[in-house]
Amino acid sequence: MTEPLGPGCEILGYRLERVLGRGGMGTVFLATQLSLGRQVALKVLHPQKVGDPQAAAAFFAEARAAGRLTHAHLVTVHDLVMDPARGLYCYAMEYVPGGTVEALVTEDGPLTRITALGIIREIAGALAEAHRQGFIHRDVKPANILITRTGQAKLLDLGLAANRLGPLGGASLTPGGRRLSVVGTPEYMAPEQGRNPDDATPASDVWSLGATLVYLMTGKTPFAGSTVIDLIVRAAMDPLELPEDFPSDLTALLGALMAKVPGHRPRDGQAVVDLLQRLEEGQFPKPGTTLEHRPKAAKPPSPKKPPVSAKPLALPLASPLRRRPPVRRRLR
């Protein structure tokens, strides 16, 4: 397509009203769906990406991934339309009046505990549905969370979503076979995802959700670095530092959400929802302990009692029974 798109243009049954935002893959317009007379957010693939098969495939995958998911806290996709002859590839999604939570914190400062946890709980519910359907978001961050005029949180931008039931693919490699690309936003990226996007799991989204909570309550990202590599290394190696007056129960929560080892985190969005329910009910451990979300280990079977006629077992005097000292875990 050679003519520029702008307000007043009509394409594929939609009239463009104004630009809502621009990203690496496309431009999002506020548009009117002419057949129904309703406002939608219409994402249009950048013209320079049209000739790139990988970019087009990723664009379609984004639309189809979002279209498969239905949840109150996920932005709904209505339609996928295209006109290859004109180089037009678009998909229409629910228009959510309001702004991002990143903009909210930038303008008004850190959020209250109740507001921040409410947002995190709603987005955890959205991730729970995505994870149930086999998807990993891979870019959970404040800029991808919309706040409606009624205060409801909605997760958007599945452009980096990966179907963990199928191949990820699409990464650029060096001649030696090493990955060039970084998938996600480094400030909110789990350590394993920074090392290799193919290693991302639902627990990686959980880490990003924890990093988002840090930003909501402090106005700062959890780690900083002078370069992307420096930032990825710090997230993988440095302990999480929080303000001295940060609530102790939320410190324990973040210790779980942002554990360096993926297996020590809640496994997915639903596990985070469950964890937040425990927090609300006051079932969190005392300050200074590490909270890990792991299945409870089965209790070992009780030893059978010896028959009455059996003689008691004599222990050598040189080997008295001793209790093992408790193992203390440090919050990493």
Please list the active-site residues.
Answer: 139
46 Rama sector, left if φ>0, alpha if ψ -120 to 50, beta otherwise: beta
CB neighbour list of residue 154: distance below 8 Å, 6 or more residues apart: 73, 74, 75, 96, 126, 145, 146, 147, 148
CA 232 to chain centre: 16
At 207, which helix (H) or strand (E)?
A: helix 202-218
Both tokens assigned to 175 = 């001649």
CA 168 to chain centre: 17
Instruction: For residue 256, give the 3-state DSSP assignment.
Output: helix
Name 48's bridge partners: none
CB neighbour list of residue 6: distance below 8 Å, 6 or more residues apart: 16
User: Do residues 232 and 186 touch, judged by C-beta distance below 8 A?
Assistant: yes
